[in-house]
Amino acid sequence: MRDRTVLHIEDNEYNRKIVRQLLSRTSYRLLEAADGEEGLAVAQRELPDLILMDVQLPKLSGLDATRLLRADPRTAKIPLVVVTSFALSGDDRRAIDAGASAYLAKPYSPRDLMALIHRFLPEN
Amino acid sequence: MALISSPLGAPVRAVARIRASVHVKLLAGFLLITLLFIAITAVSLRAVRETARQTDLLDQAQVRVGWSRQIEHALAMQMHFTSMALLAQSEDSVGLILRENNRFNDTLARLETAAPPEERALIQAIRVAQDDAMATVADIANAVRDRRMADAMTALRTRQEPIYQKIETLVGSLVAAEDTRMASLRRSIAAAQARSLRQMAGFAVAAVAVALIAGFVISWSFILPVREFHGFLSQVAEGRFGGSVAVPNRDEFGALAERMNWMSGELRRLDDEQRVAAATLRGLNDRLELASRAKSEFLANMSHELRTPLNAILGFTEIMLDELYGEVPPNLREPLVDIQTNGRHLLRLINDVLDLSKIEAGRLELGVDEYSVQEIVDVVHASLRSLAIEKGLAFSVWVAPDIPPARGDGRRITQCLMNLAGNALKFTRHGRVEIDVRLDEGWLTYRVSDTGIGIPKEEVENIFAEFRQVDTTITREYGGTGLGLSITKRLVEMHGGRIGVESELGRGSRFFFTVPLHADGGPA
Ligand SMILES: Nc1ncnc2c1ncn2[C@@H]1O[C@H](COP(=O)(O)OP(=O)(O)OP(=O)(O)O)[C@@H](O)[C@H]1O
Ligand SMILES: [Mg+2]
């Protein structure tokens, strides 16, 4: 069985680096994308097992990308976590409405992120 | 008005138009009524006097009738004594006859002075006849003295008796005349009484009518302008300025109407000015609001931009502390924790400032949903318990049993309670902090009590304002910017509730906020 794949879509290099560091010690395979369009393309091509999507992305916003992924039957069922701005801003509701499986408010604790990944995608 | 077109409208207007003060008009009205009553009194007095005069006349006539009877009596006595002289054949009776004659003459004289002129002739005739009679008596007396009895008898029979009869007839007609006069007097008295009764009744009716009409007309001449004023003032009260009152009065009411019209114009002018000013202000306000909205919008959009680097700072710190990069040298652990503390503080600041800017821009919306009070209290308790333990404070919570699920923005309520409980722990050195929630008639009251430093009375009003802090030394120790309470207050108000505090300096504080069990939110 191939390793579980996680797709991280985030425009900030340092935040990508943190996730990269977090997953470096696990068996997960990590894919990265720096904007909405790229993220959408990678997801449709690679069909990852979990998608982490920042809410605010260049070219195509995280919410719009989420909606497109949900509309595509190949990606419709993939667990998708939206990283929102602020728990109280209303982003969370919009994320769930767009079709996200869960949301995580920024700034998040890396520990919480790992817990969330484990919840949707138990390591094998 | 209906009255103005009625027959009394014209006099009412006429009275209103009289150029005299209300005082004078009222006085004139009362004077008119008084005069009418004086007139009635005069008429009745005259009637009484007339009746008295007629009664007097009647009395006099009666006296005269009495006198006439006396004359008749004296005459009879004369006859009697004359006959006695004859019978006794002596002159002794002549003295008595003379006495009767004197009485006769006296009475006749009185009658003459009292009698009305038309009776004078009759009385004169009686006097002539009496003189004749006396002459005859003298003749008879002479005959008796000379013992000429036959002559005396003849004289008596042929001369004396006819004279006496004549006198009697005359007196009789005198009495009859008086009787007629008395009868006519009685009739005229009755007639006069009936007449004066009619007059008095007529006068009284007329006086009452005039008094009523005068009262009606005068009072309406006052009431009409008062009604006009009432209508006018109602208009003003409703905010319709610029109307006017038109009253015919030239008295105080007229003057008042003039002042009112002047005032109305002035109000109109002020209202117009105020309208222009308000419009200007509104324009200015709109522009200001637009500017402030743009500013807040900018801040809100900054939210994510600010958070992204902060996420990296806090993330790297945490994975370093979690030794994902390998073991942390002991001397680096403390500065790493310092970075984390300050990063978290910066995050709270960003959150508060953004919250406030959103609230101010009217862009913060409550996510109204069902929430559990117990859950909220538990979350707050759980997240602050470690701080309480660290400071050695007793920290307990109590939620009234049987509180049904509430409606509102649960996370905002959590934020509010977190702010209050966080403050309580922050500003308390010894003792305890307690949270309790109770439900009373559809209102939830969240309370946070502490045994901390308390708040000076003069500061209680201010602490809900932005950036207001009583003592910055504590803040330096624990952090804080003075935004917590102001945000809490706004959030509570957006729920339709209110916030308050009771505090005693050095002894502790009790903060509370009350929100409806079912809050529907909406702009505060
Ligand atoms: N429980 C309390 N006991 C004593 N003083 C208090 C208490 N709660 C608030 N205050 C006073 O009110 C001020 C304003 O409180 P607020 O929560 O708005 O600001 P802060 O706590 O100083 O900063 P922030 O909440 O933004 O971190 C505080 O600085 C403090 O002086
Ligand atoms: Mg505070």
Cα–Cα distance, B51 to B43 (Å, whole number): 13
Q: What is the pLDDT of residue B476?
A: 63
Q: Which residues contact B306 (CB under 8 A, 6 or more apart)?
A: B350
More confident residue, A89 or B49: B49
Q: Of B311, B367, B412, which has the smallest distance from its Cβ to A107's Cβ?
A: B311
Show the tokens assigned to B78: 């004369």
Q: Which of B311, B324, B354 sits opposite A15 (nearest CB)?
A: B311
Average pLDDT (B212-241) is 86
User: Does the structure show a pLDDT above 70 at A87?
Assistant: no
Name the pLDDT band for B420 (thresholds 50, 70, 90). very high
- pLDDT at residue B301 in the model: 67
- For position A81, what pLDDT does the model report? 92
Lowest mean pLDDT among A45-54, B10-19, B498-507: B10-19
Residue B107: other Cβ atoms inside 10 A: 19
Is residue A19 helix, strand or coil? helix
Q: What is the DSSP string of B228-246?
A: HHHHHHHHHHTT--S----
- Reference B382, options B397, B404, B392; nearest CA is B397
Q: In this structure, are residues B100 and B74 in contact, taking their beta carbons and an 8 Å threshold?
A: yes
**In the beta sheet, which residues pair with residue A52?**
A8, A81
Q: Whose CA is nearest to atom 13 of ligand 1?
A: B469
- Predicted pLDDT at B474: 66
Of A12, A25, A111, the CB nearest to B318: A111
Mean pLDDT calculated for residue range B49-58: 87
Mean pLDDT along residues B69-88: 81
Residue B431 zone, left/alpha/beta (φ > 0; ψ -120 to 50; rest): left
Contacts of B347 in chain A (CB under 8 A): 107
Ligand 1 pocket mutation pick from B420, B423, B449 by most atoms within 8 angstroms of CB: B423
CA distance B435 to B391: 17
Per-residue CA distances from B176 to B12, B73, B119 (Å) = 64, 17, 11
Cα B424 to ligand 1 centroid, rounded to whole Å = 8
Alpha-carbon distance of B467 to B353, in angstroms, equals: 11
Q: What does the pLDDT read at residue B300? A: 58
Cβ of B308 within 8 Å of Cβ of A25? The answer is no
- Average pLDDT score, chain B: 86
Task: Tell me the ligand closest to B469's alpha carbon.
Answer: 1
Q: Kindly list the protein residues whose Cβ atom lies closer than 6 A to any atom of ligand 1.
A: B 352, 419, 423-424, 427, 450, 452-455, 463, 468-471, 475, 480-486, 509
Average pLDDT over residues B349-357: 81
Closest residue of chain B to A113, computed from CA coordinates: B315
Window 20-59 of A: residues touching B by CB (8 A cutoff) are: 21-22, 25, 55-56
pLDDT at residue A88 tops 60: no
Amino acid at the residue A61: S
Kindly report the CA angle at B222 between B216 and B227, in degrees rounded to 5? 110
- Chain A nearest CA to B316, separation (Å): 6
Query: How many Å is the maximal CA-CA distance in chain A?
Result: 41
**Contact (Cβ atoms closer than 8 angstroms) between residue B434 and residue B420:** no
Comparison of pLDDT for B94 and B39, the residue scoring more: B39
Cβ(B433)–Cβ(B394) under 8 Å? Answer: yes
**Rounded-to-integer distance, Cα B310 and Cα A109, Å:** 11
Chain B contact set for A87 (CB, 8 A):
411
> For residues A25 and A7, what is the distance between their CA atoms, to the nearest angstrom?
16
pLDDT band at B54 (very low <50, low <70, confident <90, very high): confident
Residue with tokens 């209103």: B16
| Token digits of residue B235 | 């208009």
Distance CA B409, CA B412 (A): 5
Q: Which helix (H) or strand (E) holds B72?
A: helix B22-88
Catalogue the E-assigned strands of B330-462.
369-371, 394-399, 406-408, 432-440, 443-450
Phi-psi region of B82 (alpha: psi -120 to 50; beta: other; left: phi over 0): alpha
H or E stretch including B252?
A: helix B252-321
Q: What is the pLDDT of residues B263-286, one digit of tens each?
A: 888 889 999 999 999 999 999 999
- Give the integer Cα–Cα distance in Å for B255 and B261: 10
CA–CA min distance A32, chain B (Å): 16
The chain B residue lying nearest A93, using CA atoms, is B367
Q: Highest mean pLDDT range out of B157-161, B349-353, B484-488?
A: B484-488
- Whether A50 shows a pLDDT value over 70: the answer reads yes
- The beta-carbon neighbor of A110 closest among B303, B304, B315 is B315
Which among B517, B381, B391 has a CA at the least distance from the CA of B436? B381
* A9 strand-pairing partners: A33, A53
Q: What is the pLDDT of residue B20?
A: 85
DSSP code of residue B158: I
Instruction: Report how far residue B496's alpha carbon sits from residue B474's, in angstroms, rounded to the nearest whole number.
Output: 32
| pLDDT number for residue B177 | 84
pLDDT at B180 over 80: yes
CB atoms within 10 A of CB B155: 22
Residue B325 predicted with pLDDT over 90: no
Q: Of B83-87, B158-162, B433-437, which has the strongest mean pLDDT?
A: B433-437
pLDDT band for position B21 (50/70/90)?
confident
Count of CB atoms situated within 10 Å of the CB of A10: 26
Given a contact cutoff of 8 angstroms between Cβ atoms, the answer to whether B258 and B275 are in contact is: no
Q: What is the mean pLDDT of residues B517-522?
A: 77
Where is average pLDDT lowest: B296-305, B414-423, B442-451?
Answer: B296-305
Task: Report chain A residues whose CB lies below 8 A from the CB of B315.
Answer: 14-15, 18, 107-110
Give the pLDDT mean for B347-374.
82
Mean pLDDT of chain A: 87
Whether residues A108 and B311 touch (CB distance < 8 A) is answered with: yes
Q: For residue B448, what are the β-bridge partners?
A: B435, B511
Query: What's the gap between Cα B484 and its chain centre?
Result: 55
Q: What integer is the mean pLDDT of B332-339?
A: 90
What's the pLDDT at B296?
61
Residues β-bridged to residue A6: A30, A50
Report residue B314: phi and psi, to 5°: -70, -35
Q: How much of chain B exceeds pLDDT 90, in percent?
A: 27
Residues in chain A: 124
Give which of A111, A44, A45, A94 is closest to B324, Cα–Cα: A111
Token pair, residue B62, equals 């009666």
C-alpha B3/C-alpha B343 separation (Å) is 86
Query: How much of chain B, in percent, has pLDDT values that exceed 70?
Result: 95
Q: What is the DSSP letter of B117?
A: G
Q: Are the beta carbons of A110 and B318 separated by less than 8 Å?
A: yes
* Residue B116 to residue B108: CA distance in whole angstroms: 14
Q: What is the DSSP code (8-state) at residue B327?
A: P
Judged by CB atoms closer than 8 Å, whether chains meet at B307 and A86 is answered as yes
Q: Would you say residue B496 has pLDDT above 80? A: yes
Whether ipTM > 0.90 holds is no
| Residues measured by CB to lie within 5 Å of ligand 2, the ion | B 423, 484
pLDDT (0 to 100) of residue B7: 64
Confidence band of B478 (pLDDT split at 50, 70, 90): low
